[in-house]
Chain A
Amino acid sequence: KQEVTQIPAALSVPEGENLVLNCSFTDSAIYNLQWFRQDPGKGLTSLLLIQSSQREQTSGRLNASLDKSSGRSTLYIAASQPGDSATYLCAVTNPSGGGADGLTFGKGTHLIIQP
């Protein structure tokens, strides 16, 4: 069974720092990987999606990388801002069963950016 782990569980950094969030998964046969952001009391917002054939995706100050062979992904946030404070989750879609039943989520990294 696929397992997704996110380290650290919580992170607090001063504003302006660059930071990296980590995601690891046990089965490398994934279809794609997504990074989500969740604000308190809200739903999840998809930030970046990396297909299994891709190595990275970028959106503004965010860059996500994927290393399938080692079962790892990182989310890099440049020049962090207080508005980046949220919980960040990664999820992998497994190819078995067509992927529809195979979306496995990590438990998230709770990020606080100190003004």
Chain B
Amino acid sequence: NAGVTQTPKFQVLKTGQSMTLQCAQDMNHEYMSWYRQDPGMGLRLIHYSVGAGITDQGEVPNGYNVSRSTTEDFPLRLLSAAPSQTSVYFCASSQGTGGYVEKLFFGSGTQLSVL
């Protein structure tokens, strides 16, 4: 059972470039989410989804887009990378219905540097 798989593990971008962080889970979880983790700021929610076709913004959504065409996949798109987006990004998924988050399973993270 792979759990939550994130790719790539490391990425370096130049300012203005775009890219997609991939996230897939094989646990048939309805809830998926993206967080960024920064020193001194803790974990902050970027976007989340409570099921295929349903997405919503979290605390820090600006500069990021998401879509959820299948239950398994929840990619995060950086539209025009900025140095302020240098961070470690985590995808997470959870069982539970009605949007209520139960035990949260995390991917191993993507370390992104924007020059």
Interface residues of A (CB under 8 A from B): 31-32, 34, 36, 41-46, 49, 89, 91, 93, 97-101, 103, 105-108
Binding site for A on B (CB under 8 A): 4, 31, 33, 40, 42-43, 45, 48, 50, 56, 58, 90, 92, 98-109
Question: Which of A43, A98, A103 makes the CB contact (< 8 A) with B108?
Answer: A43
> In whole angstroms, what is the CA distance A106 to B44 when docked?
10
Residues in chain A near residue B109, CB distance under 8 A: 41-43
**B42 lies within 8 A of A106 (CB):** yes
The 5 nearest A-B residue pairs measured at CB: A98-B99, A43-B106, A100-B99, A105-B43, A99-B100
A43 near B90: Cβ-Cβ < 8 Å: yes
Q: Once the chains are docked, how many angstroms separate the CA of A23 from the CA of B105?
A: 20
A82 to chain B, nearest CB (A): 22
Q: Which residue of B has the minimal Cβ distance to A47?
A: B103
| Inter-chain contacts of A34 with B (CB < 8 A) | 103-104
Q: Which of B42, B101, B103, B107 has the most CB of A within 10 A?
A: B101
A42/B108 in contact, CB under 8 A:
yes
Report whether A44 and B90 are in contact in the complex, using a CB–CB cutoff of 8 Å.
Answer: yes
| Cβ-defined contact, A99 with B105, below 8 A | no
Enumerate chain A residues within 8 angstroms of B42, measured Cβ to Cβ. 89, 105-108
Q: Is the CB of A45 within 8 A of B45?
A: no
* Chain A residues in 8 Å Cβ range of B105: 46
- B90 proximity list for chain A (CB < 8 A): 43-44
Contacts of B107 in A (CB 8 A): 43
Measured in the bound complex, the distance between the Cα atoms of B76 and A42 in whole Å is: 19
CA gap between A44 and B105 in the complex, in Å? 8
Q: How far is the CA of A108 from the CA of B38 in the complex (A)?
A: 12
